[in-house]
A and B are shown apart, each in its own frame.
Chain A
Amino acid sequence: MKKVLHTLIFTFLLSVLFTGVALAQSNTPPTDDEVNAVAHKLYCPVCESTPLDVCPTDACKDWRELIRTMLADGKTEAQILQHFQEQYGARVLAEPPKEGFYWLIYLLPPAIILVGAFFLFRSLKEWTKPKAAASVLGGAGSESSPEKDSYLARFEEELKKQK
């Protein structure tokens, strides 16, 4: 009997302790800075191209308060962003989510740039190929050695300085 009583009291005290801790957590409301940090990653769902942390409208104030409430409930930033996306659509995020079709925005530019770089280097290779055939035909392409070129360069430099 005594053992049961002790267990009950112990359990009761423990739950009081945990409740106290839980209450303590929700007693300090999230700061404006914390709200802004999350709002900065969102755009106002109704205004044109306005980030949520700077949007001045009443609606935006409500959304920021929603963020504050969700932070107070212990939600993480990722969860809050997910919630906003589900409620208002992907356009509310500051950049497209990394899923499905939207991968295209992240992958296409590097692909195009690599293609461009490939073309550039291929052209450079072609342009710097020693044109032995051309000199045989007596073409315009001159085949000069590095020393000749640097001499030419210096000579031109001197010429310019004389002006």
Chain B
Amino acid sequence: MFAEFGYGILVVSFLVAIYSVVAAVYGATNKSAAMVESARRSMLLMFPLISLSAAALIYLLVTNHFEVAFVYEVTSRSMPTYLKVTAWWGGQAGSLVFWSWLLAGFASAVTIRKWERDIEFLPWVIVVCSVTLIFFLGMVVVFENPFTRFWLVAGNVEPHMFAPLNATLFTAADGNGLNPLLRHPGMVIHPPMLYLGFVSYVIPYAFAMAALITGRTDDRWIRLTRRWSLWAWLFLSFGLVLGGRWAYDVLGWGGYWGWDPVEIAAFMPWLTGTAFLHSVMIQEKRGLLKHWNMILVILTYALVIFGTFLTRSGVLSSVHAFANSPIGPFFMGFVSLSLVTSIALVIWRWPMLRGETEMKSMLSREALFLLNNLLFMSVLVICFWGVIFPLVSELFTGQKVTVGPPFYERATAPLFAALMFLMGVAPLSAWGHSTIQTLGRAIWKSAVAALVITAILFATYTQNIIALIGFFLIALVLLVTVQEFLRGARARQKGQSENFFTALSRLIGRNRRRYGGYIIHISMMLMAIGILGMESFQTSTQGSLKQGEALNISGYTVKYRELASWDDKGKGVNFTRATVDVYKNGIYLGVLNPRIDYYFDSQQNMTIPGNRSTFRDDLYVLLVDWQPVSSMGATFKIFVNPLVNWLWIGSLLFLVGIIFAAWPDRDPAEEPARAVRKASQTSAAD
């Protein structure tokens, strides 16, 4: 009953989406406000509708309805309830419904706002959102239906949505269960965050398309979507960081980023999204770059869609990829349609996108922002080419190749270094004009201090030149950014005769965007410390130990004490847990318990590290089964990951920074309107 209901609702939503497109286009072309309003209402309806279907699916997942094919695929009796809920996005069909649900949520939210000033955008925003929904719902309804059930037909078990002739429902005793790697609290938040990031970029794209179609190519579309873009960027950034943390916790590879094609597919829209964040400021402040901003937002959306397609179609070889699916050609049609339409619209409206002002100097903030964009686009080119190249190679040579971490790290490191340098210089550059002299005067103190810090590090910590350059840049950015806070606060202090702390808090309160941005820069530098530590100084060793023997690495001694192995029938797991004693330079630090969890239903292992975290480094111990593990002897792989926790600390500060920057303050363009409303309210009250 729930399955039929869930599927029926999805079909209804699909039809309503089609209706809203038709009504919106008709309303826009025939100037019928009533039709546009009807389209808006049908768009508003999408979220409640799809929520009902999602609720049905979750109900089926949580109550072990194994006759439903999707439920059988991704859940099993031994999974805890919260994981059964997350299994909603644990397989292709369910995750497409999840995508649609999020998109419907955003689309419905967008229709709730006040549209009076921008009523001409409304129909086209509806069209873009609805067309995207039509495609995703279409894929679910036709190709990847999570509500199909198993039927016994003439001795064979087949999946169908509705009962075939003379068939009976077939219910398996237990399901397959999620891949053990996915049975982790990270499953609760990493995919939703990423999907939120992907889906929320549809809204700025929709407004950009509306701007192109209506010819309202001024700043309005950017101002309307500024906060959407910021939140989209937040979700995407967080999704990426969470993925890294999750990989670090359960993958057992000792790292947090593998340059896997699907990871890169999520990273690419982040690159253009970051470039977009910066370049819209140029358009807002100086009226420049309308073409470029339009291109960037289209590129971000295109990369989201393209990345989603690559992940799900089987085109790429990846640890993250979904199993092969029939949606490939259909999805590719959607990607082609989106790209062709967007490019055609931009080319059509190209002349209208001309800016008004010119640039004054090559070192002005606009110019430096443009350089920032060039660097981000360069990283994008490297990532895109690396992802695409195995296909190219197969087409032209017949041989597949692997493009792995060495390629990406080598190529992008200098670009990231240049970006960091820009982070240190750009805040000191003024809008409109700067010279070498003004910049030099503003930066020399921080530069000297950064050099001193680097020299100290050289003497006490490391002689690695690359790492020292990295530390210099990090120190430079931190000092310049903190200096900005101090300078602003002091100037305000003098001007307003407040004490320092009031001045500081008022300063950042009145300029949330700028200082939120600076907090984000600082958080990025903290993350850079973590990344630098891992990339430059990570050490590892592996060896087989008998009980009582020890491995030494980077001052740590890890001694194998004992092993315990037991079954947990309730969880469906066999645990093999080692106990090791940890010493550093002779001092006893404690005990770690690396584990191997063997899942009976999927016959797969999970290696869970024993990890000791400090600000200085992580001692990360893995139990490895190259040789059979027993209490006689076990193989351990040990990583020492210096500074890695600054990556996670930085990401927390990043969250603070972005919430701060995005916190709604009054839209200055609405000041006159607000004043009028206030005046009319007070006069009405008389």
Contacts and interface: CB of A to CB of B under 8 A. Distances in A.
A–B in direct contact per CB < 8 Å: yes
Interface of A: 31-33, 36, 41, 43, 48-51, 54, 56, 61, 64, 89-96, 101-102, 104-106, 108-109, 112-113, 116-117, 120, 124, 127-129, 131, 140-141, 144, 146, 149-150, 152-153, 158, 160-161, 163
A160 B371 CA distance: 27
B404 interface: yes
**Dominant secondary structure at the B interface:** mixed
B397 A150 contact: no
B223 interface: no
A-B complex: 10 closest residue pairs judged by Cβ atoms: A94-B404, A32-B542, A127-B359, A91-B400, A149-B433, A113-B378, A96-B401, A95-B407, A54-B253, A109-B382
Residue of A48, A104, A105, A152 contacting most chain B CB atoms (<10 Å): A105
B430 A150 contact: yes
B393 A101 contact: yes
B350 interface: no
Contact of A95 (B253, B258, B397, B404): B404
B393 A150 contact: no
A146 B381 contact: no
Contacts of A112: 378, 381, 385
B399 interface: yes
A120 B430 contact: no
A92 B492 CA distance: 61
A108 B403 CA distance: 14
B377 A90 contact: no
A102 B433 contact: no
Given A49-B318, A89-B399, A116-B374, 19 more contacts: A32-B542, A36-B542, A43-B402, A48-B317, A51-B258, A54-B254, A95-B404, A96-B401, A104-B389, A109-B411, A112-B378, A113-B374, A116-B381, A120-B370, A124-B367, A128-B358, A146-B433, A153-B431, A153-B433
B403 A64 contact: no
B358 A131 contact: yes
Contacts, number: 147
20 contacts: A32-B543, A49-B261, A51-B258, A64-B626, A91-B390, A91-B401, A93-B402, A96-B401, A105-B389, A105-B407, A109-B385, A112-B378, A112-B381, A116-B377, A116-B381, A120-B374, A146-B435, A149-B433, A150-B438, A161-B492
B252 interface: yes
A49 B377 contact: no
B605 interface: yes
Nearest to A91: B400
A124 B370 contact: yes
B432 interface: yes
A41 B432 CA distance: 49
B570 interface: no
Contacts of B590: none
Given A32-B543, A33-B542, A128 B406 contact: no
